[in-house]
A = this chain, B = another copy of it.
Amino acid sequence: MDETPQEARKQKLREIIFGTDTPAGRYFDLSLIVCIVLSVALVFVDTIDSVHNRYGDWIRIAEWGFTGIFTLEYLLRLYCSAHPVQYARSFYGVVDLLSILPSYLALIFPGANFTLVIRVLRLFRIFRVLKLLRYLSEGNILLRAMMQSSRKVFLFFFSVSLIVMVLSAIMYVVEGPEHGFTSMPKSIYWTIVTITTVGYGDITPQTTLGQGIAALTMLIGYSIIAIPTGILTSEISQEMVRKKDLRRCSNCLKMGHEVSALYCDKCGNELETDL
C-alpha cells in the first residue's frame, strides 16, 4: 500500500470530505450543513420584498460567498473521489452540481426566476450526512414496511383516482360552469380538495344535489384514510416482530433481542442500534 504523497493527500482529503468517522470529517459535515441551512434561509428571506429592498446587496454578497464555498467543495469532491465520473453521475453529484449552477446561470440570464427552484435543491445536500443510513437500510423497518405495502398502496391510489374521476364528472354535470366547475380539470381539483379533507372553499357546491354528492365525497375521503394507515401499521408491526426475532448480539450471537434493548441480555455486550 505504498502511495505517492499526492495519493496520500488525496486519501486524507477523501476521509475528511466523504467520511463521517474522523473528527475532521464530522467537523467538515457540520460546517457544510450550517452553510446549506444559511444559504437556503437566505434564498427564502430574499423573496420578502421589504428584506430584499433593504438588505438585497448584502444577500447578493453572501450568496456569492456560499456559491464559492459550494464550488470549492464540488471541485474537491471531484478531485479526491476514487471514481470522479461515477461521483459526478451519482445522485449526490448531480445535486452538488445543481446547487452551484443556478448562481452561475443567473450571471447569463439575469433575473431568471426559475433558478429559485433549483437553488432549493441545495437543501438536498443535507441528505449527504444521512448516508450513514445506507448501512442501516437492511434493517430499516420503515422502508421495508413501505416497500412491502407498496403494491397495496398503489392499488389504493388507483381506486381513489377512479372514484375521484367519476365524482368529478358527476359534479361537473350537476354544478356546471356557473358554480365554479368550469372544466373537468377544475372539477378534479375540487374533488381532490374535498376527498383529502383539505377543503379550501374556493369552489363549493351551490345546489342541494351538489351538496349531497359533496357530503358523500367527504365521507368517502374521511373513511378511506383508514386503509393506507391500516396497511402501513400492520406492515410496521410485522417488521418489528421480525426485527426483534432476528436481532443478534455481535459478541455471543444470541438472537431475539427487544428492539429497544441496548445491551445483550446474555453477555452484556452493547448491541447495535439502528433506525
Q: Report A's interface with B, CB cutoff 8 A.
A: 40, 43-45, 47-49, 113-114, 116-117, 119-121, 123-124, 126-127, 141-142, 145, 148, 151-153, 155, 157, 162, 165-166, 169-170, 172-173, 182-189, 192-194, 196-202, 204, 208, 211-212, 214-215, 218-219, 221-223, 225-238, 240, 242, 258-260, 275
Complex partner residue of A186 from B194, B196, B211, B260, CB under 8 angstroms: B211
- Secondary structure at chain A's binding surface: helix, strand, loop or mixed? helix
- Contact indicator A225/B222 (Cβ below 8 Å): yes
Bound CA–CA A244/B114 (angstroms): 51
- Contact indicator A236/B236 (Cβ below 8 Å): no
- Contact indicator B198/A218 (Cβ below 8 Å): yes
Residues of B within 8 A of A185 (CB): 44, 47-48, 208, 211-212
Which residue, A169, A186, A198, A260, has most C-beta atoms of chain B within 10 A?
Answer: A198
Q: State how many angstroms separate the Cβ of A196 from the closest Cβ of chain B.
A: 4
- Contact indicator B242/A236 (Cβ below 8 Å): no
Residues of B within 8 A of A184 (CB): 43-45, 47-48
Bound CA–CA A116/B165 (angstroms): 11
Residues of B within 8 A of A218 (CB): 192-193, 196, 198
Complex partner residue of A47 from B48, B172, B227, CB under 8 angstroms: B172
Bound CA–CA A185/B44 (angstroms): 7
Bound CA–CA A192/B151 (angstroms): 28
- Contact indicator A229/B226 (Cβ below 8 Å): yes
Bound CA–CA A119/B169 (angstroms): 9
Interface CB pairs A-B, < 8 A, 30: A47-B172, A47-B187, A48-B184, A48-B185, A113-B173, A116-B172, A119-B169, A123-B162, A123-B166, A126-B162, A127-B162, A142-B155, A148-B259, A153-B223, A157-B219, A186-B211, A193-B199, A193-B214, A196-B221, A198-B199, A200-B201, A222-B225, A223-B228, A226-B228, A226-B232, A233-B237, A234-B236, A234-B237, A237-B238, A238-B259
- Contact indicator A123/B204 (Cβ below 8 Å): no
Q: A123-B166, A196-B221, A197-B222 are in contact. List 7 more A-B contacts (CB 8 A).
A: A40-B165, A114-B173, A126-B162, A186-B208, A189-B215, A225-B226, A226-B231
- Contact indicator B230/A145 (Cβ below 8 Å): yes
Residues of B within 8 A of A208 (CB): 185-186
Residues of B within 8 A of A194 (CB): 198
Complex partner residue of A219 from B196, B238, B260, CB under 8 angstroms: B196
- Contact indicator A229/B229 (Cβ below 8 Å): yes
Bound CA–CA A237/B221 (angstroms): 22
Residues of B within 8 A of A227 (CB): 142, 232
